[in-house]
Amino acid sequence: MKLTDFKALSFDCYGTLIDWETGILTALHPLVRRAGVGSDNDATLAEFAAHESAQQAATPDMPYAELLSRVHARLASAWGVADDPAENERFGASVGDWPAFPDTVAALGALQKRYRLVILSNVDRRSFQATQHRLGVPFDAIYTAQDIGSYKPDPRNFAYLIERLAEDGFQKSDFLHVAQSLFHDHAPANAVGLASAWIDRRHDATGWGATVPPPPGVHYDFRFNSLAELAQSVL
């Protein structure tokens, strides 16, 4: 199996193309400061991950901006401070402010010359629209959790991706799923027999950051520390 064997790349967005951990920590700063929970970013991200995953399982059809607002309220409760509806809403609306990784725009531009580019993201359409200008390229297709009615790692999200690309004439073997999260992306990609490339954005960190730990046995076909490394491998 070679990278040049594929005709299309499907991408997770937040965590892979967008530096969501920086964005989350920045947007959570007012609550963290108000709660006085310290400056352990990894602990803050782990708590976020636990509440986000639980909320996605409980409300799979809730738009992501609203879901983030709920997560913010859950964190306030867990940290023992009063709920602030306006602060919850600001956190939910912060997705468009989350920065792209420094290599994202150039790498996507290079990859677009060879591949069809598709987004499969745990987000709502409005939030992704706010992010789009940060990514530098128009995508050939964008599939969100709001379109599908469930959040990754639900297998329905990958079934939807496969079905939509089949309508455009692509077989499952024609595309590679590119993602950072072993939990949200690689485990369900494994389950449906989809090849995947791990962009290990946390290669120089410990723990799982803003995602819950992956299930045992998860695997991937390619591994890179950055999207730039992937792009360089096919140029």
**Strands, DSSP E only, in the chain?**
8-11, 116-121, 141-144, 175-179, 196-199, 222-224
| pLDDT for res 39 | 77
Average model confidence (pLDDT) for the chain? Answer: 96
DSSP state at residue 100: B
Domains of the chain, CATH where assigned: 3-19+100-234 (3.40.50.1000), 20-97 (1.10.150.750)
Furthest-apart CA pair in the chain: how many Å?
A: 54
Residues 123, 23 contacting (CB under 8 angstroms): no
Neighbours of 4 (CB within 10 A): 10
Residues 233, 111 contacting (CB under 8 angstroms): no
pTM, rounded to two decimals? 0.95
Residues marked as catalytic? 12
| pLDDT for res 162 | 97
Average pLDDT of span 3-32: 97
| pLDDT for res 1 | 84
Q: Examine the pLDDT at 199 and tell me if it is beyond 80.
A: yes
Q: Is 44 left (phi over 0), alpha (psi -120 to 50) or beta?
A: alpha
Cα separation, 132 vs 84, in Å, equals 29
